[in-house]
Chains A and B, each alone.
Chain A
């Protein structure tokens, strides 16, 4: 149980375009989803937290107009990187928390990540 998928796995885009990344909890209902960014050889940095049906809470320094998060259902959250630039190139990872999974309601389960390269 507790499978989280992300799509796409990797994406290359031109500077100025927008990229949408999907995160789905496949076998449980995710009451909360999280978006992280990870640069090479660094740890995960939380970007934002979203609860289904409400606006996301962004961490300090993360531009909410640039990183649009939608958590439309208990199994799907999307992150859209708008007007992407080379400095946005990173590994984006979502995670989900919910009830009815073995690790308990506090445990976050991570998706496989999306590697974004902006040319």
Chain B
């Protein structure tokens, strides 16, 4: 089976930095996705990490350590519109599917 853990909620101030951690234990692993989901909307793709290391895309960066079963999403220069749920998802090619963590609700305060 697969076990994917991320914090339930985080609160941060506008302009600050927030790091959302995701740990996973899976029987197979091909990559890790991060999605953003605003309430009542579908998830939108943020990043995909296959190899160890940090990938930066503007204000958002994602890190992966395959040996530790660990990833994080870093949100910099937080804006009010960043208030959303952030979902990490493990991709397993065998079985061809994504398994999602429970999601982390981030609340950005002025």
What residues on A are CB-neighbors of B96 within 8 Å? 32, 49
What residues on A are CB-neighbors of B91 within 8 Å? 106
**For the complex, is A67 an interface residue (Cβ under 8 Å from B)?**
no
Q: Is there an interface contact between B100 and A107, defined as CB atoms closer than 8 Å?
A: no
The chain B residue sitting closest to A108, CB to CB, is B98
With contact pairs A43-B87, A43-B102 given, residues A107 and B44 touching in the complex (Cβ less than 8 Å): no
With contact pairs A103-B48, A106-B30, A106-B48 given, residues A46 and B98 touching in the complex (Cβ less than 8 Å): yes
With contact pairs A106-B91, A111-B42 given, residues A43 and B101 touching in the complex (Cβ less than 8 Å): yes
What residues on B are CB-neighbors of A46 within 8 Å? 97-99
A44: contacting residue among B40, B93, B100, CB under 8 A: B100
How many A residues are at the interface, by size bracket? 20 to 34
A103 to B96 Cα, complex, angstroms: 16
How many B residues are at the interface, by size bracket? 20 to 34
Q: Is there an interface contact between A44 and B45, defined as CB atoms closer than 8 Å?
A: no
Q: Is there an interface contact between A109 and B41, defined as CB atoms closer than 8 Å?
A: no
Count how many pairs of residues, one from A and one from B, have CB atoms less than 8 Å apart in the complex.
51
Q: Is there an interface contact between A112 and B42, defined as CB atoms closer than 8 Å?
A: yes
Task: Say how far B63's CB is from chain A's closest CB, in angstroms.
Answer: 18
Against B, the Cβ 8 Å flags (1 = close, 0 = not) of A56-72 are 00000000000000000
Q: Is there an interface contact between A103 and B45, defined as CB atoms closer than 8 Å?
A: yes
Which residues in chain A, 61-119, are within 8 Å of chain B measured between CB atoms? 91, 93, 103-104, 106-113, 115
Task: Say how far A36's CB is from chain B's closest CB, in angstroms.
Answer: 8
Residues of A within 8 A of B (CB): 2, 6, 32, 34, 42-46, 49, 91, 93, 103-104, 106-113, 115
Closest 5 CB pairs between A and B?
Answer: A110-B42, A113-B42, A43-B100, A43-B102, A43-B103
Residues of B within 8 A of A (CB): 30-31, 33, 35, 40-45, 48, 87, 91, 93, 96-103
Known contacts A42-B102, A45-B100, A112-B42; can you find 5 more A-B pairs with CB under 8 A?
Answer: A6-B42, A46-B98, A103-B45, A112-B41, A113-B42
